[in-house]
Amino acid sequence: MYAYRDKVYLHRLNVNCESDFTSNCDHESILVEMDLKTGLHKKLPIYYSPKYNSNTFPSSFLISNMVTLDSLLVFGFVADEHVYSYNLITGITDSFLCKSDFQCQTIMGFSDNRPPERSKEVMNYYMTTSKYSILTYDPYLKVFYRVFSKGQNLINEDSLFNTYLDRKTYVMVLNQQFNCIGEFEIDTKKYNYGIIPSRKGLMIPRRKLVNGNYQYDIFKVNI
């Protein structure tokens, strides 16, 4: 939820792209604007990534990551190199290509024949396909961060199965024009993705808990 002036914006996470009324996600709004004075609400022209359709899998790949910046709503999607912005004042939507320098494969967010959610094909897709996850804004450095996980082979050089923790993960640094101005790798086996901007630097949590609590390392980001 996001409040701007006298309106509230609600992110619709329960959009059904497989209903009888929706043949694909392209025309189903994912955000509702509610007027606090009148109580009236309306769907905004903000949609899922054009890469998605009714055959998209896994369904969790549909969920978008929204960041707010004054009158600007910024969206990122798991299986899409682009970042999208919507201006609440002008009603204009823009698209920006924010591809990681380490993305060596084309991201495919859908399949002609959608398999069951927990099928081997879906598990392989999770393991081998590159994806984008966290998108956040740093109010101290005035930049955006976007986390990218690089796809990998199912089998490694030792003829053993790779795990999710074997994939390489990078943090992209984007300016306010959504140009990538830097990118650095974090150890996937050591760190989680829940990055938090702070005055001291970018806080990234370690996977190993201490007394049930997360421990953070601080990364200095030079721009």
Residue 191: beta bridge partners? 206
**Where would I find the beta strands (DSSP E) of the chain?**
2-4, 7-11, 31-35, 41-43, 64-69, 72-77, 82-87, 93-97, 131-138, 143-149, 169-174, 180-186, 196-197, 202-205, 216-219
**How many domains does the chain fold into?**
1
Q: Which two tokens stand for residue 196?
A: 């938090």
Helices (H), the chain: 120-128
Q: Per-residue pLDDT tens for 173-209?
A: 999 999 999 999 999 889 988 899 999 999 999 988 8
Cβ atoms 79, 131 nearer than 8 A: yes
Q: Who's near 114: CB < 8 A, 6+ residues apart? A: 55, 56, 57
Q: Which two tokens stand for residue 97?
A: 């290509």
- pLDDT of 20 reads 41
Residue 214: beta bridge partners? none
pTM of the model: 0.83
How far is the C-alpha of 124 from the C-alpha of 122, rounded, in Å? 5
- pLDDT of 56 reads 62
Residue range of the domain that includes 196: 2-219
Q: Give the mean pLDDT per block of 10 residues along the chain (223 residues).
A: 82 58 59 87 82 62 79 88 92 92 75 59 75 92 94 72 80 94 93 91 90 89 86
